[in-house]
Amino acid sequence: MRLLVLLLFALLPLQWFGVAATPLGQGRLHQIVMIGFALAVLTRYRPSTYAPVLRAARVFVIASLYMVAAIVAVAAYRGSGPEDGIRQAIYLMIFLAMGGFFCRVARGFEPRALNALRLAVAVTCVSLLVGFSLAMAVNGVNPAAVFAESIAAADPEIFQKEVFKSAFAGFGLDEEMVKGNLRHEIFGCVLLSMLVSTWAMRVGRVPSQAQVRVYRAAMVLGVVWMTISLSRSILIAAAVWPLLAVLRSSRRGELSTRQVAILFGSAAAVGVVLASGLGAVLVNRFVSDTTGYEARAENYGGAFAAIPDHWLVGGFGTAGVSSHNFVVDTLLRDGIFAAVPAAVMVLTLLVVFALMAMRLHRLPAALVPVVAALALPLVRAGTSGGGLIPPVEWVALGFTAGVLAAWRLSERASEPAEQKRSLAGAGV
């Protein structure tokens, strides 16, 4: 499995490569590798492998199944095809397979795969660098010139349009998809790989010096990728990670001199970036560049205006006028019977994230990136174009569900021993 999981993380960010037309729409490279990996896992492991994941995520899974059934049912009622429901069922299958795989890795049954996951961030960042370089060369994009122009004008739109959207054109995707802020999911893959590799470095055998060097270099490259992504949603999701780590350490009273030095060093680095030309671009992206905010508000207005006519069985086409909200767009597309389980799914993730964040100071440090991974689907559920949970977020959900399921199994296994010690200490 180690080679398959490295292939998964290598191809996951290359989302602008279309492969072939399918009955469900344009098949893209990352979707093909996700489905292939899921099928390999499902055929390799016994059904009992997935039982801990199903127990840990039963509310989310039941709500997802109910939503798939509702989407298919209302589509049949309207006389349209079941493609949307089938697509959601496939992503649920991917979630289950990813959860089973990560559960086995977390329980120590796949040590070679764990070693491979320590390289996930390196593989993702290098693959993205190669793929991006190829795309820019094919489309004649000069990133250095565009970057200099963006810095001079302090305009993030120049870099976004002239580099990202220009580079992604001509690889089998239609123009609308290329324009649709594809970079958010591409750099979401980078964030996910950083979280997975950090978790893998903290569990199992002590990593070798070579693994540590590769991991540190790749993490630096990952931070660079995240900085130049200009993706507000991904940067917000990424900021949750260090915030959780700091809160955990402070509540445990473990803020060491080294950690404080890292905090001040990071703050100084951020200050240097903000004082530079790149900082002006980033500030304008979040503060001055209000085009996205205004368009989002306009789309929300249009969505709420359409709800009275479409709340029961949907039928509203959200393409191009998406509210970028998973629940609202599901309501408009598929009606209230699909929107209710969609809301349950999001609420379940919020509750799990909140509970785990509050308990994090009593949990192992390895679980910090696991809990932080929940921020990615939560943020994207409220910001993703089309109002869907995108493919990469299903991988993130599988990662979190699998590791937490394994942790719960280990907690239950340790309870009898703890109870015995308590009884012995009480003289029973």
pLDDT in tens, 126-161: 999 999 888 888 888 777 777 666 666 556 666 667
Task: Report yes or no: 169 and 178 within 8 Å, Cβ to Cβ.
Answer: yes
Residue 420 is predicted with a pLDDT of 44
CA-CA distance, 116 to 118, in Å (whole number)?
A: 5
Band of residue 187 on the pLDDT scale cut at 50, 70, 90 = very high
Buried b / exposed e over 128-152, threshold 16 CB at 10 Å, is: beebbeebbeeeebebeebbeebbe
CA-CA distance, 47 to 322, in Å (whole number)?
A: 38
Mean pLDDT for all residues in the chain: 84
Helices (H), 139-256: 143-153, 156-159, 166-168, 175-179, 183-202, 209-229, 232-252
Mean pLDDT of 233-239: 90
Residue 50 is predicted with a pLDDT of 95
Task: Report yes or no: 390 and 185 within 8 Å, Cβ to Cβ.
Answer: yes
Residue 302 is predicted with a pLDDT of 81
Residue 427 is predicted with a pLDDT of 36
Residue 42 is predicted with a pLDDT of 95
277: pLDDT strictly greater than 60:
no
36: pLDDT strictly greater than 90:
yes
275: pLDDT strictly greater than 90:
no
Share of the chain above pLDDT 70, in %: 80
Of residues 207, 165, 171, the one with CA closest to residue 183: 165
Determine the residue type at 348. T
Mean pLDDT of 378-387: 81
Residue 281 is predicted with a pLDDT of 59
Query: In the structure encoding, which two tokens stand for residue 72, read together?
Result: 């298919």
> Per 3-state DSSP, what percentage of the chain is helix, strand, and coil (rounded to 5)?
80, 0, 20
Share of the chain above pLDDT 90, in %: 51
Least confident of 34-38, 193-197, 259-263, 386-390: 259-263
Question: H or E element: which one contains 263?
Answer: helix 257-275
Mean pLDDT of 28-36: 92
Least confident of 195-209, 257-271, 343-357: 257-271
251: pLDDT strictly greater than 70:
yes
